[in-house]
Amino acid sequence: MFRRLINFGVLLVTSILLLACVERAQPIYNASSVTIPEKLRFAPISDVETAIIRGGNREGWLMETISPGKIKGTLNIRTHQAVVDIVYTTTDYSITYAASKNLLHSNSGIHKNYNVWVRELETSINSSLDRIGSARTIQEAPVINSDETAWRAIENSQDPKQFVLFLENYGDSAYAPAAVKRLSGFIDSGAISRLANPFGEWRVTATYNAIRGSSSWCVKQRSWQFVQHISSTPVKRTVWHRETALYLESDYVEKNILLKIIVPDGGSDWKWDKPLSLNSEREVFNAVAIAGGGSYGNCLGRLNVIMTKMS
């Protein structure tokens, strides 16, 4: 009799736990073929990409351009992680499940919080698309550019984070070099602490601009935003912005992380303003191509890279 009571108790507890999991799990929500606003139908696809990245960043997602027309979004909340693929054109975009950690994923569904996060991501992207589309419709109006407004608001700030955020949002802006200079000053002055452990997740923001002497058919401007895991294991990675690749390599040599970063279409040989190593929580690197790159061999540009330690 006592054994039967124990078995019944175990069965009851198991049933309660299973019921709790079922109540928290829902079918996976995918945003399929969401329509791009009409005012962006004939805009460059880079405008759609920018809107998606900004929409994701606003909700805390790390947005990484995988290839032209595809972005990977990653959301980390405590011990939980959600990963989605975002495929887009100038007419629509879709958000689909890619992977997750600690979200009860199974054939029958996923934790309900995942669906909440994806719906919030979709709403934020739609809002960002609408704002960029509206801005395009009033370009002829005599208004101050948004990047100028943002720069004027922070140019005298003593907070390094303000300049990191500016470069993440306006990497192609005419004010980007000034932001890079201010951030470099914080590092040189010691306002940003030196780094004891370089291993972990790093947010990478890179911008490329053609310089005088580059042929008219060469790439003019490009930007990349992604997260890179740095460890003692050597890394070789290619990140795309449209058809232009940025190559990043890292290696652990004599207790230092050494980097190699190039944009082949913008130069085959680069002169950097300082050694490419990770010594502080935020590193700013600047380079100018001193030999032509790309298919034609005479493309020259300037490359700015900001690496910010996340964990």
Average pLDDT value for residue range 144-164: 78
Considering only residues 301 and 41, tell me which one the structure prediction assigns the higher pLDDT: 301
Average pLDDT value for residue range 111-122: 93
Q: What is the pLDDT of residue 100?
A: 93
Query: Is it the case that residue 142 has pLDDT exceeding 50?
Result: no
Q: What is the DSSP string of 118-186?
A: HHHHHHHHHHHHHHHHHHHHTTTS----HHHHHHHHHTT---HHHHHHHHHH-TTSTTHHHHHHHHHHH
Distances (CA, A) of 255 to 56, 188, 232, 306: 35, 21, 9, 21
Considering only residues 168 and 155, tell me which one the structure prediction assigns the higher pLDDT: 155
Cα(51)–Cα(64) distance, integer angstroms:
13
Mean pLDDT of the chain: 80
Domain 25-137 in this protein, CATH class = alpha beta
Considering only residues 24 and 45, tell me which one the structure prediction assigns the higher pLDDT: 45
Considering only residues 9 and 272, tell me which one the structure prediction assigns the higher pLDDT: 272
Out of 58-67, 81-90, 108-117, 268-277, pick the least confident: 268-277
| Percentage of residues in the chain having pLDDT higher than 70 | 82
Query: Is it the case that residue 241 has pLDDT exceeding 70?
Result: yes
Considering only residues 174 and 60, tell me which one the structure prediction assigns the higher pLDDT: 60
Average pLDDT value for residue range 178-199: 72
- 11-33 per-position pLDDT tens digit: 444 444 444 444 567 899 999 99
Structure tokens at 106: 């199974």
Cα(49)–Cα(68) distance, integer angstroms:
9
Q: What is the pLDDT of residue 11?
A: 47
Query: Is it the case that residue 8 has pLDDT exceeding 50?
Result: no
Residue 273: band (very low, low, confident or very high) from pLDDT cuts 50, 70, 90: confident
Q: What is the DSSP string of the chain?
A: -HHHHHHHHHHHHHHHHHHHHHHHEEPPP-EEEEEPPGGGTTS-HHHHHHHHHHHHHHTT-EEEEEETTEEEEEEEETTEEEEEEEEE-SSEEEEEEEEEESS--BTTBEEHHHHHHHHHHHHHHHHHHHHHHHHHHTTTS----HHHHHHHHHTT---HHHHHHHHHH-TTSTTHHHHHHHHHHHHHHTSSPBPS---EEEEEEEEEEE-TT--TTS--EEEEEEEEEE-SS-EEEEEEETTEEEEEEEEEETTEEEEEEE-GGG-SEEEESS--B--BSEEEEEEEEEE-BSTTS-B-EEEEEEEEE--
Q: What is the pLDDT of residue 14?
A: 46
Residue 217: band (very low, low, confident or very high) from pLDDT cuts 50, 70, 90: confident
Q: What is the pLDDT of residue 70?
A: 93
Average pLDDT value for residue range 196-216: 83
| Domain extent listing, the chain | 25-137, 146-309
pTM of the model: 0.46
Query: Is it the case that residue 2 has pLDDT exceeding 80?
Result: no
